[in-house]
Each structure stands twice: as structure tokens, then as C-alpha cells.
Amino acid sequence: MIGGSATVLAPATIGNVGVGLDVLGLAIERPGDRVTATTRKRQSAEEPCARLVEVTGEPGTEPLPPCSASNTACIAAESVLRLANIDAVVELSLHKGLPVGSGLGSSAASSAAAAQATNLALGSMLSQQQLLGACLDAEKAVSGAHADNIAPALLGGLVLVRRAEPLDVLRIPIPDGLHLAIVCPVLQILTRDARAVLEPTVPLQTAIHHSANVAAFVAACYSGDLDALGRCIEDPLAEPARIHMIPGGAEALTAMRAAGALGASLSGSGPTLFALCRSRESAGDAAVAGVDALAGAGVEASPFLSHADCPGARQL
């Protein structure tokens, strides 16, 4: 339907969830990106299919690139038009609630909100699976074929990405009462820089350790065993290579665990840290401990709390 309009909010996400590098992702309550998509007829064959007409942001968010190969909102919207076989222009108004390079899935939130808003403006022509494909097109353009942020940003909840291409995503149940403490330092770590510090190969015992943790994590989610879940939140692959990029990061994770968290790790590439906790009160204690530890290293950080079971992209 050309001439339609829709507004969608897509949430921040915790990529990897500590234990599952590139395969686990979790939607959180806030912050998020908001996109309004309005479709119209193309005025010429040379006119771009998608363009940003307005970009605003919360304090601390970075300006986004113009409508180009580096803009995930535009790429996702263009992909939706292509998949729907619609010759039209979609104009996007984007409000950034997520800082770029925060480890909270900033590019994924923009692409999920844009894809969902464009689809709704067209009359919901595409399935969720097709929308995931459109978002993956956007992620591939900026950081590679990784769906651990786009899947929860679009679908909500906790997801396991069995394969990115062809895309195969599984929903994982979330134990009752699980909450998150999230500590967002005033730092920026770009995904490409964080991936550059990872080794291309790992020792066999490290791979076995990682596989066992992922399997035990999924089992604990299905059984609701929070103690077992906490034992799984250790990352032998990415965290040891990346934690030095955050001054005071290791001390903050230790402090969050000591404050009662079940487990703590990096959110995505960092610098944001998260902890899984038994209750909102416990999450509050862990968040304060993380902020204080970073402050001791001279790093300012903002804390916030979230339920572990949160919705994905939704119409406003």
C-alpha cells in the first residue's frame, strides 16, 4: 500500500548474553530507536528507494550517516521494498535512543524499527522471517552476518541463532523472575574494532568449554534453574580478549557478581556490562556496584534495570 505510514519502536539488545558469542541475544526494556516510515510513489527511476528525512537523538547518541550503504535503517527499508516487490520510496524519520558503539545493538535497533515500520506502512506484506532477512541485509553491510542483535530487536525475548545464512532462529524460554542490571559506560567501542582483537582460531579445550556452557545455559532456561544459569555465564572466547578495552571493566564485573548477581559479562562487544539477577532488587545492587567500580577507574557510567522477558519491535 503506497501512501501508508507507521511508527515503530525497537529495543536495545544484549548480544552474546555472555556465553553465546554471535548466537544468543536478549531484548531489554530500554533504551530503543524509533522510526516513522512513510511510503510514496517514486518520482523518477533515479530516485533512491529509501531516505532519511529527519534524524534526532537523545543526549549522548551520535549522528547517523546519511542514507547510504552505511545506514542500517535505510538498507533494511530498501530490502523490505525489494522483498515485497514494491516500486516506491520510503521516507524515514529516525529518533536514536541508543548510542553508537555502546554494545546495545544500536544498528540492529535502527534496522528492526525501520523494517517493521516500512512493512506496516505497506500493509504488512512480509512475514517476520522475511523481516529478519531484511534486517540481516542491513547488519551485513555494517558489521557482518550476525543476527544475535537483530533477532531479539525484532522478535523480543531470548533467541538462539542456529545459523545466520540461511537464517534459523529459535526462541528460548526465560526463567520467571529473571532481571538484568545494565551498566553503560561513557565510552565507544565499534564492533569492527572489538572483532579485530579476537583470535581466528581457539584451542580445542576452549571450544569444548564454550559449547558446554551454551548447552547448559539453554537447559537451565528450559528448567528454570537460576543457579545453573548463573554458572553458565562465563565467556572463554570474547570477554578475555575484550575486557581490557574498558578501564575498570574487569573490576566492575567482579563487583557485580559480589553484589549478588548470578553472573555478569559484556553486552555484545562492550563497553556496556550486564548482570543476570534473581530479582529487581538484586539487579539494583549489582548495577550500583558496577557503576562504583568503573568510577574508581575514572569511567563515568549510567545504570538501568530491565526485566529479562521484553518485547521486540512494536508499533506506537
> What's the CA gap between 45 and 12, in Å, rounded?
36
Rounded CA-CA distance 168/129 in Å is 9
13 labelled catalytic: no
Handedness of CA 126, 129, 132, 133 (dihedral sign): negative
Q: At what angle do helices 106-121 and 72-84 cross, to 10 degrees?
A: 30
C-alpha cell at 178: 529473571
163 vs 170: CA distance, rounded Å: 10
Question: What is the full DSSP assignment across 259-273?
Answer: TT-SEEEESTTSS-E
Catalytic residue among 29, 78, 91, 139: 139
How is the beta sheet containing 179-185 ordered, strand by strand? 263-266, 273-277, 179-185, 301-307
**Gap between the Cα atoms of 253 and 273, Å rounded:** 7
Nearest CA to 118 out of 49, 219, 181 is that of 49
Whole-angstrom distance, CA of residue 28 vs CA of residue 11: 6
What's the chain's Rg over C-alpha atoms? 19
| Secondary structure (3-state) at 32 | strand
Known active-site residue 139: yes
Residues 6+ apart with CB under 8 A from 107: 72, 100, 138, 139, 142, 143, 149
Q: Can you state the percent helix, strand and coil of the chain, rounding each to 5?
A: 35, 25, 40
Query: What is the 8-class DSSP label of residue 68?
Result: S
The one catalytic residue in 91, 191, 239, 272 is 191
- Positions marked active-site: 139, 191
